[in-house]
Structure 1
Amino acid sequence: MRYVEEFRDPQAAKALLSKIEKVTAEIGATKEKPIHIMEICGGHTHAIFRYGLDRLTPEGIEFIHGPGCPVCVLPMSRVDECVQIAEKDNVIFTTFGDAMRVPGTRKSLLQAKADGADIRMVYSPLDALELARRNPDKEVVFFGLGFETTTPSTALSIQQAAREGLPNFSVFCNHITVPEPIKVLLDDPYMVLDGFVGPGHVSMVIGIHPYDFIAQDYGKPIVVAGFEPLDLLQSVLMVLEQIRDGRAEVENQYARIVPEHGNPVSIAAMADVYQRRPSFEWRGLGEIDSSGLRIRDQYKAFDAEEKFGIGYAAGQRSVQEPDGCECGAVMTGRIKPTACPKFGNGCTPEMPLGALMVSSEGACAAYWQYGGRRAVEAAE
């Protein structure tokens, strides 16, 4: 397939791996003293395991799996509030499919649907808008979830609802931003991070400069990367070369897609519709200042938190993780998924306990899908 196969070329991969091995040796990294590179995005985590990059790269490189999966960092309290809205009379609750099975304290959205709530999977907030048009006697709520990648589409849908005057459409806004949790990880004295592979799809929207603080304030290199195996290998090489040369810069490996300053139309829509929350709770990380977005007052008619009196509008409560679930430790890179006592032992894709096993981008799901029983046996 043109434009895909060229980024999966075995010969090109071998050439990159040879260069990676050479630079790793020049740095002096070994299995006992590795270079720790965090891939922030869950899509990168799955690509690393799908293509076996963790086994092909030298032992002197250790991949740390970051919190880059919006479903995975969704606190259980927000799932509870989704269910609370969905179970109200006269509500059609719409959501992306990967959020359906995330467990709350009482049930998941999928279980609430089985119990009779009108919950529908959609592929875009535009689908929710159309449902609102077709069902004027129903309150249609869209579960706005995701990083900067999906944030503009929700903003544009709210603008469209305002233009049309759709009083029965609202958004339960759970959009969050990537740079803020990276700072939290870098400030954690227990974290050992030498460099980052940054999420390309996020930078398609915001550009590369929101990551300048990583290089300037913390002296760590970051390379914004694509999602094919050669993208990732080249990005790892670029990080290693910066470390070898004593540099700390923000580099753009994904320049064929990512503009330096992002997408101006998307940025303008986000600025118009959203403002920063003082703080927002992340699963495994707790409350992080200015990391969440809320709908501005001029659009509050389309804010489900205001309309239904839930969430931060009503004083959101925090909820503890289930006993034995170590999603938080996995997302912060403290442990590998197989070190969680519930991995494969009460938490599997068929019966997930934590969000990292539910999400298609979760680290635990990646270990299970591409390691299977071997991953469980390695943990025992």
Structure 2
Amino acid sequence: MQTNRDLDIKEEIKKYVTFLKEYDGETLRLMEVCGSHTAAISKSGIKKIISPKIKLISGPGCPVCVSPSAFVDRLIELGKKGAHIVSFGDMMRIPGSTSTLNEEKGKGLLASYVYSPLDIIEMAKKEPEREFIFAAVGFETTIPTYTLLLDRIIEENITNIKILTALKTMPEAIDFLCMNKCDIDGFIAPGHVSVITGSDAFNEVSSKYKMPMAVTGFSPYELVLGIYALTKTCINKEKYISMGKSLVGNYYKSVVETNGNQKAQRQIDKYFRKGDAIWRGMGNIPNSGLYLKDEYLKYDAGSQNLNDDKKINKACRCSDVLMGKISSKECPLFKTLCNPLTPQGACMVSSEGSCYQAFKNND
């Protein structure tokens, strides 16, 4: 049975979709910087029902995709020395400078994928004589899980687990995109990240570049609402600025608070410090990485100075896709040499990658 609220939501969606479909103003380029948003937008078919003057652009929202080749090379090096490498599934297929974890596993390297970092604990307890390395990649969403892993390692005095980190923070990446004058009119801010950071985390970069931003969820209704609100903010940007009104809107209030998850933030601050980080295809982004603090370095597997970022195929244009300079379809390798079975770049490897989603959903 439909409730009055169900009917209200249907009417709201109809209003938002009609507006977005009939929009005929200046062309707007709106970038999502969350891999889950990229997947949800592609799956929902939203791009096909909105005005061609509203361009939805995929950005650097996939943490696996932006991990540099040197990170993979280091994991393989540690594995060849006898360590058991443990990671999330997509990480197994990401190319290093010459190989992947999957390829090396086929040659005898000990490498496994898990669904939770905490799974490594029982693995390590069963083989106390072997070193276990977790490939710790992720943005603010995933980082608290690594702090829980560290809590357990310390509490239980487990001495054969270390982590290799490629942890990155999103506000600095958005700042980098704006600073490099990428042709973006507004950002769909990352929903999962915002649960941890809070919507206020984006106020500084928004104010600095006068950049509209909208925090939104992942359902078709939430996405349509967020894109509608972001479009309206772009249209009224100068008016909002003159009124002293923030250009950051939170349209995911069911789970995102202004100040975020304070407990998770304290956990992150306990173990990690800020530092520069290499993003695959984008280069060095100041203060965008998180590294274990000095007092916890005995749990680090050598995460510093992993700066090499080599391409497997020089014709791959993943870096331009990540920066919003071209679409996946504009890469000369897309759907020819590059596909999910034979990926030539990181954007095609991960299920959250821009090229993977464009291939899968024919975007």
* Range class of TM-score, shorter chain: over 0.9
| Aligned mates of 2:338, 2:165 — CA distance in 1 | 28
> SS of 1:49's equivalent?
helix
1:55: how far off?
A: 1.0
Q: 2:196·2:264 contact (CA, 8 Å) conserved in 1?
A: yes
Task: Give a deviation string over 1:96-137, Cα, whole Å, max 9, x none.
Answer: 011111111221111111111111111111101221222211
Share of identical aligned residues, percent? 33
Q: What is the DSSP-based 3-state SS (H/G/I as helix, E as strand, rest coil) of the residue aligned with 2:221?
A: helix
Aligned to 2:172: 180
TM-score of the aligned structures, taking structure 1 as reference length: 0.88
For the residue of structure 2 that corresponds to 1:62, the secondary structure is: strand
1:124 and 1:234 map into 2 onto residues whose CA distance is 32
Secondary structure of the equivalent of 1:266? helix
CA distance in 2, matches of 1:61, 1:192: 13
Distance 2:250 2:335 in 1: 37
CA contact (8 A) 1:93 1:143 kept: yes
* In structure 1, distance between residues paired with 2:96 and 2:306: 14
For residue 318 of structure 1, give the secondary structure of its aligned residue in structure 2: coil
Aligned to 2:17: 17
Q: Which amino acid in 1 is paired with 2:80?
A: E
State the secondary structure of the residue aligned to 1:93: strand
Cross-structure match for 1:199: 190
**Could you tell me which residue of structure 2 aligns to residue 308 of structure 1?**
none
Who is 1:47 aligned against?
40
Give yes or no for the alignment of 1:62 onto 2:52: no
1:78 paired residue number: 71
How far apart are residue 21 of structure 1 and its match?
4.0
2:92 to 90, 94, 100: 100
Measured against aligned partners, the alpha-carbon deviations of 1:189-226 in whole angstroms (never above 9, x if no partner) come to 3x221111111100111111110023211111111110
* Residue 225 in structure 1 maps to residue 222 in structure 2: no
Query: 1:11 offset after TM fit, Å?
Result: 6.2
Instruction: Provide Cα deviations, 1:155-197, integer angstroms capped at 9, x if missing partner.
Output: 12112211221111111011111011111110113x2211111
- C-alpha spacing 1:275/1:354, structure 2 compared with 1 (3 Å): same
Distance 2:88 2:129 in 1: 23
- Which of structure 1's runs of 4+ aligned residues deviate more than 6 A? none
| More off after superposition, 126-135 vs 108-117 | 126-135
Matches for 1:1-380 after TM superposition, within 5 Å = 13-21=13-21, 24-25=23-24, 28-29=25-26, 34-89=27-82, 91-189=83-181, 191-246=182-237, 247=240, 248-277=246-275, 279-305=276-302, 311-312=303-304, 315-321=305-311, 322-371=313-362
For residue 15 of structure 2, give the secondary structure of its aligned residue in structure 1: helix
CA distance in 1, matches of 2:118, 2:309: 32
**Does the 8 A contact of 1:100 with 1:110 survive in 2?**
yes
Amino acid at match of 1:68: G
- In 2, Cα distance between the equivalents of 1:317 and 1:206? 27
Work out whether residues 75 and 283 of structure 1, in 8 Å CA contact, stay in contact via their aligned partners in 2.
yes
Note the residue ranges of structure 1 that are not aligned, 5 or more in a row. 306-310, 376-380
Q: Which runs of 5+ in 2 are unaligned?
A: 241-245
Q: SS state of the match for residue 118, structure 2?
A: helix
TM-score by length of 2: 0.92
Q: Quick check: 1:162–1:299 contact (8 Å CA) kept in 2?
A: no
